[in-house]
């Protein structure tokens, strides 16, 4: 069970007022707020053992290294991977770029990359750029009017020329959860039927890692990416999970620093996994904070979080649909706690501005998912995204102010 009062006390930012009104933070799909234990973790690092990692024999370096590598194990255990399969990055975007540019060197003209119509720009643009450089072709799986992936079309688009599949686990713009397990199963069946080698499947878990328990072995995915700032960790943190045999074959995305084992003017020998892909000095404090954030999540329990957020989503959906002229975009039954909507002909930026004046933070715009907006023939939506520290009373404030905005624009 979620003790909402205790939870909210863990997040100091929620105690403040905006324009003399209590903050109602409903922009969690963009970034989540940080619990005090994560904030304290950063302070502790910078005040007690600030040092670079892996290279020092002095105590501070050893302490920092131990904490950093402890996070790697925390992340690995969190998704049921091994330590050497966890690559630290500054977020999901860098993780996708790492895979795209490392695997992309093997593509040739006519090869195909498969994505969905629900992707964030970060899972579109890197693949477009690889296609430009190699002559590969980008294929897009369409969605229906509910925002759901059309599995029949996904099957049809798979071919012997498919070399990479990269699909989001959940739409950041709509909150719709994709049947990623089914997609991977279909791909594996296709490989067997056509007697072809395993096709790498990348899962963008940025919008599910904080809501749903993920087991990469059960999913049978080859890569999985996530951003720390969406799971209550510091910004500029994230990770890439990669299957060990694939990571060993891939070329480094960046070079220099910790990813090097030995250098001469004639030859450079790269480090072993996972360090082979971690060039330079990373966000050490932030990564340690990521470990602390996941430990915090584990104390609450993802099953408890999922149950609480699903209840909040159901309540918010019913209340918002009571507003005349409000239409939810993305109406699948399978959703995270995200509601994206339009209200009459009122521009989302106007809605966002008026809600901000009431102390309510929502996200407005195309949410870095322009193709998704075009699919529904709209320029933008207002998106309210919830966390386990949000309450039904905050939903009521959102609904009350949206009703006032609608009346104002009559």
Q: Which residues are catalytic?
A: 368
Given strand 238-242, what is the order of strands in its sheet? Answer: 86-89, 238-242, 223-227, 201-204, 162-168, 112-116, 137-141
- DSSP 3-state assignment of 182? helix
Are the beta carbons of 290 and 237 closer than 8 angstroms?
yes
End-to-end CA distance of the chain: 42
Cα separation of 273 and 247, whole Å? Answer: 8
Residues β-bridged to residue 114: 139, 165
Are the beta carbons of 93 and 119 closer than 8 angstroms?
no
How buried is 238 (Cβ within 10 angstroms: 0-12 exposed, 13-18 middle, 19+ buried)?
A: buried
Are the beta carbons of 134 and 111 closer than 8 angstroms?
yes
Phi, psi of 85 (to 5 degrees): -95, 0
The length of the chain is 410
Are the beta carbons of 101 and 277 closer than 8 angstroms?
no
Strands 112-116 and 137-141: parallel
């Amino acid at each position: 069970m979620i003790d909402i009062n205790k939870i909210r006390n863990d997040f100091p930012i929620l105690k403040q007022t905006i324009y003399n009104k209590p903050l109602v933070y409903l922009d969690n799909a963009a970034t989540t707020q940080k619990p005090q234990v994560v904030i304290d973790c950063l302070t502790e690092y910078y005040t007690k053992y600030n040092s670079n990692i892996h290279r020092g024999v002095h105590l501070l370096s050893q302490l920092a290294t131990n904490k950093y590598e402890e996070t790697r194990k925390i992340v690995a255990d969190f998704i049921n991977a091994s330590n050497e399969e966890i690559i630290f990055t500054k977020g999901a975007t860098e993780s996708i770029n790492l895979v795209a540019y490392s695997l992309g060197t093997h593509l040739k003209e006519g090869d195909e990359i498969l994505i969905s119509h629900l992707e964030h720009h970060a899972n579109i643009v890197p693949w477009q750029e690889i296609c430009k450089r190699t002559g590969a072709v980008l294929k897009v799986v369409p969605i229906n009017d509910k925002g759901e992936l059309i599995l029949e079309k996904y099957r049809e688009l798979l071919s012997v020329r498919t070399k990479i599949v990269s699909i989001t686990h959940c739409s950041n713009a709509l909150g719709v959860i994709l049947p990623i397990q089914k997609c991977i199963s279909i791909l594996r069946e296709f490989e067997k039927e056509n007697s072809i080698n395993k096709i790498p499947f990348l899962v963008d878990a940025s919008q599910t890692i904080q809501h749903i328990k993920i087991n990469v072995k059960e999913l049978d995915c080859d890569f999985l990416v996530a951003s720390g700032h969406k799971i209550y960790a510091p910004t500029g943190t994230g990770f890439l999970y990669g299957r060990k045999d694939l990571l060993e074959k891939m070329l480094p995305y960046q070079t220099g620093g910790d990813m090097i084992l030995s250098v001469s003017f004639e030859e450079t020998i790269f480090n072993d996994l996972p360090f082979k892909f971690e060039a330079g000095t990373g966000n050490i404090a932030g990564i340690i904070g990521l470990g602390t954030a996941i430990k915090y999540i584990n104390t609450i329990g993802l099953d408890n979080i999922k149950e609480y957020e699903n209840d909040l989503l159901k309540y918010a959906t019913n209340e918002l649909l009571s507003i005349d002229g409000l239409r939810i975009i993305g109406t699948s039954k399978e959703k995270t706690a995200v509601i994206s909507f339009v209200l009459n002909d009122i521009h989302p930026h106007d809605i966002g501005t008026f809600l901000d004046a009431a102390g309510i933070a929502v996200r407005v715009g195309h949410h870095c998912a322009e193709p998704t907006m075009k699919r529904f023939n709209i320029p933008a939506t207002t998106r309210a995204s919830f966390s386990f520290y949000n309450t039904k009373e905050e939903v009521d404030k959102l609904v009350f102010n949206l009703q006032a905005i609608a009346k104002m624009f009559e």
